[in-house]
Structure formats: C-alpha cells, structure tokens
C-alpha cells in the first residue's frame, strides 16, 4: 500500500525536477561561455541553438522578447557569453538553458577556420564571380553528388520528374559528413565531370550544424568544384546555412529542391504556357476574324448602296419607264393622227374624181392626156379619152355644142 502511494507519473516527475532546478540559485541568472552550433531562427522569432565546448553541449532557447535586444547576428561557430536560467521542458523531459542575454566572446575555432579559408580562397581566385559558368537551358543529363539515403536525392528526383521527366539523373553516392566524407565528395565531383552526357552537377545535403556541414568547407572539395568544367550547383543545408563551396560553385541554391528547379527546365509548364498562349491567340484571331467579317458586311452594304450598278439599274428602270411613257404618247398621237386622217380621207373622198366617177360622172382628156375642161379645148375630129368608173373610152369629137346655163 505504501509502494502504491509513492508511484509517480512521468509528468509528476518532470514537474518535480523543474521545480527543483528553479529553486536552485546556482542555476538562476548564471553566465555561460560556449560556441553556437545548430542555430535555428523560428518563424515565431524565437532562437533555438546548442551551446558547446570541447567536451559537452547544452540545448538553449532565447525567446523573441529577449533576442530583439541582441545586436549581434548569431551563426554556427560563433563564440558567445550568454546569461539565463536552467529549467526543464516538462513535455519533452529535457533540460535546457533559457537565455535572456547574449554577447560575443570572439570567434569559435571552426568559425575562425571557416573565415580564414574563405578569405584565402578568395585571394587565390576560387571565389571570382567572373569565372562562374552559366547553366545550360536544357541539360542532356544531371549528376547528383550526395548521400543515397537522405531526403536530398528524393527531393531532386521529385522536382525533376515534375518539371521534365525526360532528363536522366545519375547518382554518385557519397558520405556527406564524418571521416572521409570530403575525399568522397571531391572524387565524385571529378568523376561526374568526366561522365558523357552530363551537363550539370548538383552536390549537397540536408541541414545541420557547422560541424555536420564541415565536409563541404574542406579545401579539397572547393578545389574539385573550381576545377570542374561542368557547371555545379551547391545545395548544402537550408537557406540560412553557408559553406565554402557555396561561394566556389557556379550557382548556389537555398535548398536541394530549388537546385533541381534551377537545373531542370520546366518543359511541362512551358508546354502548358504554350498551349494557353495558343488558345489565347486562337481566341484573338477568331475575335479579329469576326470583327473583320462585321466590318466587311458593313462595307459591302455601303458599297451596295453607292454602287454604280445600283445607279445603272435605277437609270435603266427610269429609261424603261420613259420608254413606256413615250410609246404611250406615240400611241395616243397615232390614234389622234389616224382619226384626223380618217376625217381628211372622208373630206378628200368628196373631192376625189374617182368618187365622182362612181356617181355616174366621167372624166375627159385629150389625146395628150390633158384634161378637157371646156369645148374650146377640142376641135372636131380630135381624139379624146373618156374615163368612167370601170375604164376608159377612146372616142373622137364629132361635134362641139355650147351649153346654155341660163335655162
């Protein structure tokens, strides 16, 4: 029964330890000297890092309200003096130093070595920006120098397959940290530079502390990168991590995925953009054709209204109309003239000798065909011609007897 009373939960134990640490005056407001490693700046503004010396290390956190007043910019390898309190993170069961102040304590040994090597390589021309080689637009193949088991290889393959699955990827597996890693990386870069069909090399690893990334700070790796005739993209660590080969490589990518995006031309997206541009162009062309057709119909209508053929048809219709009017006028005139002629004919009939002949009268002419109008025109014995309605009678004058008109 007594044993059961003394059984604690994990939470109870961690809370007890936390209170014990908080009650120890030696662990409150202490100052600690060490070298920063594995520094992380959280999106919330809090800083997480490890403080270490040659034998030990301790996890540290510096909340945003405290680090806002720090003038220096922390980085891996930097030697600092911090002040704060030791406490236990109950949920994780790990004790850590809660830092409230920080000031520089000179450079750490690795950081100093990094800066010295960087300056020396710069003097030797290995960091010269004018010697950087441009990346080809569409590489025939890409060599990857990294660990075969890390997430780097997976990220590069995923991005490459999405952007252009036709580009072959060749892995040259190496260790990316620890003893012998720098030698393997340098040898793999030299080997990749001699492979046929390789136009770009990507070398890198995931994030880590300055010690974890140190193989990429080694001079032999930097020299192999500089000597390689094929463009090299450095993709070491996260965006905040910096190594020597980042300065020597032809291009630095903040992450391995970004390195693949820089190396692999996005054919699929370009095809989609071209198709979208084609569709847009087709729509614009069809819209333009429709507008031109509308304008053409308007112009055709205007041309039709002002066409000479229209005017010719109009004038032709007018001519036909005038022709009809003229024919009608001529017909009426002819009718009038025919009527007048009939009247004149009737009048002439009354004056015509033939009409008189039909009434029993006759017409007398002498032998020369001259009209005999009186007895004085002939003499006895002269031949005469007597015309009647149905013929001529040839005769001669046997006697001439004047007519007494008074009786």
Q: Which DSSP helix (H) or strand (E) runs through 301?
A: helix 267-305
Mean pLDDT in residue range 211-221: 90
Structure confidence by residue, pLDDT tens digits, 61-88 = 999 999 988 877 888 888 889 999 999 9
Terminal Cα distance for the chain, rounded: 203
Ramachandran angles phi, psi of 380, nearest 5°: -65, 135
- pLDDT tens per residue, range 261-310: 999 988 777 777 888 888 889 899 999 999 998 888 888 777 777 767 76
DSSP codes, 244-298: HHHHHSSEE-SSHHHHHHHHS--HHHHHHHHHHHHHHHHHHHHHHHHHHHHHHHH
Q: How far, in Å, CA of 70 to CA of 74, rounded? A: 9
**Is the pLDDT at 365 greater than 90, yes or no?**
no
CB atoms within 10 A of CB 192: 23
pLDDT at residue 2, rounded to an integer: 47
Q: How far apart are CA 51 and CA 96, in angstroms?
A: 10
Query: Closest by alpha carbon to 335, among 304, 173, 403, 343?
Result: 343
Surface-to-core class of residue 276, CB atoms within 10 Å of its CB (0-12 exposed, 13-18 middle, 19+ buried): exposed
Asked whether the beta carbons of 196 and 168 are under 8 A apart, the reply is no
Of 161, 155, 158, 191, nearest to 173 (Cα)?
191
The closest alpha carbon to 159, from 8, 294, 265, belongs to 265
Question: What domains, with CATH codes, occur in the chain?
Answer: 9-107 (2.40.50.140), 139-265 (3.40.50.10550), 354-396 (no CATH)
pTM recorded for the entire structure: 0.50
In the chain, % of residues over pLDDT 70 = 94
Tell me the per-residue pLDDT of 305-364, one tens digit each, with 9 for 90 and over: 776 776 777 788 888 888 888 888 888 898 888 888 888 877 777 666 666 667 777 878
What's the rounded Cα separation, in Å, for the pair 60 and 69? 17
Q: CA 367, 372, 374, 376 torsion: positive or negative?
A: negative
Distance CA 263, CA 241 (A): 20
Q: pLDDT tens digits, residue range 95-127? A: 999 999 988 776 566 777 888 889 999 999 999
How far is the C-alpha of 380 from the C-alpha of 142, rounded, in Å?
A: 157
Query: Residue 92 — very low, low, confident or very high, per pLDDT cuts 50/70/90?
Result: confident
pLDDT value of residue 5? 66
Quick one: DSSP state of residue 371? B
- Whether residue 189 contacts residue 201, with contact meaning beta carbons closer than 8 Å, is answered with yes
The answer to whether residue 1 scores a pLDDT higher than 70 is no
- The 10s digit of each residue's pLDDT in 226-242 is 999 999 999 997 777 78
Using CA atoms, how far apart are residues 138 and 264, in angstroms rounded to an integer?
Answer: 7
Q: What percent of the chain has pLDDT over 90?
A: 39
**Sorting pLDDT into bands at 50, 70 and 90, what band is 208?**
confident
Average pLDDT of the chain, as a whole number: 86
Name residues whose C-beta falls within 8 Å of residue 29's C-beta, 6 or more positions apart in sequence.
Answer: 83, 84, 85
- The edge-to-edge listing of strands for the beta sheet with 142-146 is 169-173, 142-146, 200-205, 232-236, 251-252
- Average pLDDT score over residue span 44-62: 92
**What local confidence, expressed as pLDDT, does residue 352 receive?**
67
Cα(197)–Cα(208) distance, integer angstroms: 33
CB 335 within 8 A of CB 355: no
Mind listing the pLDDT tens digit for each residue in 21-43? 888 888 888 989 899 999 999 99
């Amino acid at each position: 029964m007594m044993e059961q009373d003394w059984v604690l939960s994990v939470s109870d134990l961690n809370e007890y330890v936390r209170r014990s640490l908080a009650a120890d005056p030696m662990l409150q407001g202490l100052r600690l000297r060490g070298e920063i490693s594995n520094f992380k700046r959280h999106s919330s503004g809090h800083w997480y890092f490890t403080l270490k010396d040659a034998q030990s290390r301790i996890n540290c956190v510096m909340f945003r309200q405290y680090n806002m007043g720090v003038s220096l910019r922390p980085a891996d390898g930097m030697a600092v003096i911090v002040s704060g309190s030791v406490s236990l993170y109950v949920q994780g069961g790990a004790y850590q130093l809660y830092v409230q102040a920080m000031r520089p304590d000179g450079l750490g040994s690795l950081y100093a070595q990094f800066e010295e090597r960087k300056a020396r390589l710069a003097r030797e021309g290995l960091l010269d920006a004018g010697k950087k080689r441009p990346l080809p637009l569409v590489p025939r193949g890409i060599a990857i120098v990294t660990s075969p088991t890390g997430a780097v290889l997976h990220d590069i393959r995923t991005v490459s397959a999405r952007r252009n699955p036709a580009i072959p990827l060749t892995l040259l597996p190496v260790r990316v940290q620890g003893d012998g890693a720098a030698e393997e990386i340098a040898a793999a870069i030299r080997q990749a530079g001699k492979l046929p069909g390789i136009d770009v090399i990507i070398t890198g690893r995931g994030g880590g502390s300055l010690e974890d990334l140190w193989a990429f700070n080694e001079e032999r790796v930097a020299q192999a990168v500089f000597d390689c005739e094929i463009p090299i993209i450095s993709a070491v660590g996260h965006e905040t991590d910096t190594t020597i080969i980042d300065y020597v490589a032809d291009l630095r990518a903040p992450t391995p995925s970004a390195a693949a995006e820089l190396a692999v031309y996005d054919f699929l997206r370009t095809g989609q953009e071209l198709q979208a541009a084609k569709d847009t162009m087709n729509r614009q062309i069809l819209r333009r054709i429709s507008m031109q057709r509308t304008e053409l119909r308007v112009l055709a209508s205007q041309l039709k209204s002002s066409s000479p053929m229209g005017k010719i048809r109009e004038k032709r219709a007018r001519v036909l109309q005038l022709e009809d009017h003229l024919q009608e006028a001529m017909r009426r005139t002819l009718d009038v003239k025919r009527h007048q002629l009939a009247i004149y004919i009737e009048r002439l009939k009354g004056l015509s000798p033939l009409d008189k002949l039909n009434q029993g009268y006759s017409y007398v002419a002498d032998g020369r065909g001259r009209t005999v109008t009186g007895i004085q025109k002939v003499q006895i014995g002269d031949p005469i011609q007597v015309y009647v309605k149905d013929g001529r009678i040839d005769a001669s004058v046997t006697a001439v007897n004047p007519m007494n008109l008074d009786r």
